[in-house]
Structure 1
Amino acid sequence: MRSIAFFIVLFAVWLLLSGVYTPMIVGLGFASSLLVVIIIRRMDAQDGDKVTLHLSPVRLPKYIIWLMAEIARANWAVTKVILSRKMNIHQHMFTVPYTQKADLAQVIFANSITLTPGTITVETEEGQFLVHAVSYSDDDPAAIADMDARVTACETARGTEGGA
């Protein structure tokens, strides 16, 4: 059942992204989606390592909407820095602790930092990330701590019992 749902999602994404509905393109999308499902099933049979989704279906969309707004705000701030005559750049590397228990939630948090213009997650260590900021301010750690709390709130009870 899980493989069928995965196939349907892959094929739907293919159709939506291609925008071309000729028999050849639809057939290639069908074949590609089927091939990916077959490969995933074979990989699961070999190692049994599966990523489980212990994320709240209500809180995660709210987080994504909040993240999009933050990305827009950060984009505006980075654009102002780049276009200013002085180019007021204050590069800084700093560590950010994370509170997520599930691996997937940690990945979401690290990628959220990287998606926000002007910051990038450089390295992951047990319990913390190393982050580089192009235009660092004293408010950055508090803003990233807020992001951390929001991602942690997206975890469900099963996701907080350890590893994904």
Structure 2
Amino acid sequence: MRWVIGLAAPLVAFWLLLSGHYTVLLLTLGVVSIVLTVWVVSRMERAEVHIPVRMALRLPLYCLWLGGQILLSALKVLGQVWSPRLAPKPRVDVTPVDGIPELSQAIYANSITLTPGTLSLEVDDRGIEVHALRSTDLDDLQAGSMLRRVKPLEGR
């Protein structure tokens, strides 16, 4: 039962912080969405799995860095789409995960997908299969620039 409070409290704080409006309707919608979220998590049988404290402390900095990467990548994709000289050179290849834990693999794969111009297709033992709009983006991933940021999150 402690996990319900541990999950609901941050969700309430996040809802109130982002909403900024405290009408009866919005507060009711917030309560309904939080109850629904807690119910879905309990059905997933993953409620007892928690984010390590070290990761929770390191995650905000990673999110800021990732936001910057998303912005830079979006500008590159925009330039490529609008430039008649820069034809896309899409490529699909596997980028290694170097034995990182499953949670870090999920964060890494989702970070790749969030970055414009790249898409995680599959995660398996070999690594993450990635489709990239530009060949250079895939080269950057294979060089390990993003993976070096993901590895310290779990502190292993």
Indicate the TM-score class for this superposition, using the shorter chain for normalisation: 0.7 to 0.9
- Aligned partners of 1:105 and 1:152 also within 8 Å: yes
The separation in 2 between residues aligned to 1:136 and 1:114, in whole angstroms, is 15
Q: Choose between structure 1 and 2 for higher RCO, CA contacts under 8 A separated by at least 6 residues.
A: 1
The 1:65/1:4 distance shift into structure 2, 3 A limit, reads same
Q: Deviations over 1:52-92 (max 9, x none)?
A: 32353443222222212211211111111111112421011
Alignment partner, residue 12 of structure 2: 11
Q: What TM-score comes out, normalization by structure 2 length?
A: 0.81
Find the counterpart in structure 1 of residue 118 from structure 2: 119
**Corresponding position of 1:129:** 128
Indicate the SS of the match to 2:55: coil
Give the aligned CA root-mean-square deviation in angstroms. 2.5
Contact 1:96–1:128 under 8 Å retained in 2: yes
- Identity among equivalent pairs (%): 32
**1:107-155 Cα distance to aligned partner (Å, 9 max, x none):** 1100111111111111122131111111212x63344512112101211
Give the direction of change, closer, same or farther, for the CA distance of 1:109–1:39 in structure 2 (3 Å limit).
closer
Q: TM-score, normalised by structure 1?
A: 0.78
Q: Secondary structure at the match of 1:56?
A: helix
Amino acid of the residue matched to residue 146 of structure 1?
A: S
> Structure 2: which 5+ residue stretches go unaligned?
none
Q: Which range moves more in the overlay, 24-33 or 96-105?
A: 24-33
Is the Cα contact below 8 Å between 1:88 and 1:135 reproduced in 2?
A: no
Aligned partner of 2:68 in structure 1 is 69
Deviations 1:25-45, CA, capped at 9 Å, x for gaps? 31332243234334534x36x
Runs of at least 5 residues in structure 1 that lack an aligned partner in the other structure: 158-164
Q: How far apart, in 1, do the equivalents of 2:6 and 2:119 lie?
A: 33
Q: Which amino acid aligns with 1:103?
A: E
